Structure 1
C-alpha cells in the first residue's frame, strides 16, 4: 500500500475511536476493556484461589490430556490388525472426503459403511453407521457451529440475541415462511452462518513438537540484510510490535491474516449464487509453510444467494472476539 495514503473517514460503527491519529497514539477502547478484565481476573484468582482449587484445575487439565491421548491412540489404530496403509482415522477421513466430493446421500454412505466391513478382515475397526462417523470426527473438534443470522445481514442470533424471534434492527423474522399457508416454520432459520472454531485447531498444532517449533519461527528468523522474505520483514510487522509490545514479546502468540472471496458452489454458470468462505493464513509459520493448503484454516462459511457486500463485518466483527 502507498505509504502516502491517509484514511479520510473515521471508524465508529463498532466502538472505535473517532480519530485515526488518536487510535495510533493510545490503546483502543477494546484493548482497555480487555486489559481491565485481565486485571480483575488476576485479582480474583490471587485473592480467592486455594490449594484445593489449584489442585482441581491441575487434575482437570490432566484428565483432558489423558482423554485426548486415548482418542489419539484410538484414531491411530490400524484399520485391521495387519493393515499398514490406513489407520482408523485416515480411512474414515478418506471415505468422508469421497462422500463430500461426490455429493453422496447420507443413506448411500451408510450403505457403503455397512458393506465395506464385510469385505475386510473380521478384526477391522471401521464404523458401520454415518452417525458413528460424525460422532468420531466431532470428538476431535472437526465439526462446526451453526449460528442463525438475519436474512438482511443485520445481526447474528447469539449471546444477547440468542432467544429473539425477529431481528432487533429490521424486524425481519428469524424463521422461514411456509409458501402454502404463510405461517412461520419455527426452528427453520432463514440464514445460517457456519463457524469453524479456530482455538481447538491451534491447540492441536501446538501439541505437535515440530509444528510448535514452526509456530515460533517468526520470532528468531527476521531478515538481517533488509530484504523482504516473509511478513516478519515488513514495515507493518514492526509497527504492530511497537504498538503492542506485550503481545510481540510472547513468541507463541499467533498472527493471522484474513482473506475472503465469493464463489458459486453449484458449478452452474446460469445459477446466480454467491457463497463466501473466510480463510485465515498463519503468518507465524515459515514462508514455505504458511501458504500451504493444509495450514490455511477455513473459519466461516457465509451462505448466499447474494454476496454480503458491506455487511460482511456483521459476521466477522463479533465472532473474531470469541
Structure 2
C-alpha cells in the first residue's frame, strides 16, 4: 500500500484487495465503500470504479487494516508452525500497546499500581485456555474479545450477549468463559478496546464521519440522517410545532476501536 501507484506490485495488491473486499466484505448491491484517498471509505462504488480510484488516488492514508471491508479489528498473527490452525490473536501485542513499558508500573514500597494490577490480571486471562486441551489458539481473553467484536458488528443487546454467554456455559460446562456482559466489558476495556458508534445513511450510501460528521443529509441519495419524531410534552399542540422534534439517527454502525492508555 506504500508503493508507488505505477509499480506492478501496487496494481497486483489493488486486485488482491478487491478480491478480498468483494468476497469477505460482503458488498451491498455490488458496491463497497471506496478506500481511496478521495472517497475515504465514505462513498459506495462498484468494483471497476474502486479499482480506478485506487490507481488514480491511492489508498486513504493509514488504512492498513481493512475493517470496513471484512478484516477483523482485532490484530492476528500467523506462525509458521500453526498453519493447520490458521492464526491466533496477538494478545501480547494488545497488552504492549495498552500498557507500554511495564518497568515503571511498580510504586516503591506500596506494591503494584492499578495499571500493573490490570496488566497482570489480563496476562493471567490470556494464559487460560478456553477449555481443557484446547488446540485452537483461543484463550479465555481472546475468545471474549472476539465475541465482543461480534456484538459490536451485529448490534447485539447487552442482555442478549449475557444470555449467549450463559447458554455457552450451560451447553459446554468445561468452557472457561465469563457469564456476564459487564465482566466481559470491563475486561475488554482494560485492554483499551471499546466500540465507536458512527451514524450512517439509511440506504448505506455514506458514513457521517471525518469532514461529513456534522452533515444532516446524505450527499448521495439526499435522505435525512435523522428520523424526526415530534416531541411529546403532554401538550397536543406540540405536534403543530415543526421545529420541536427529537432527532434520532436513522442508522448506526458500531466499530470496535483501540486507544492506548499512555
Identify the structure with bigger relative contact order (alpha carbons < 8 Å, sequence gap 6+): 2
Fold shared by both chains (TM-score > 0.5) = no
Bigger Rg over Cα: 1
TM-score, normalised by the number of residues in structure 2 = 0.34
Return the TM-score normalized by structure 1.
0.29
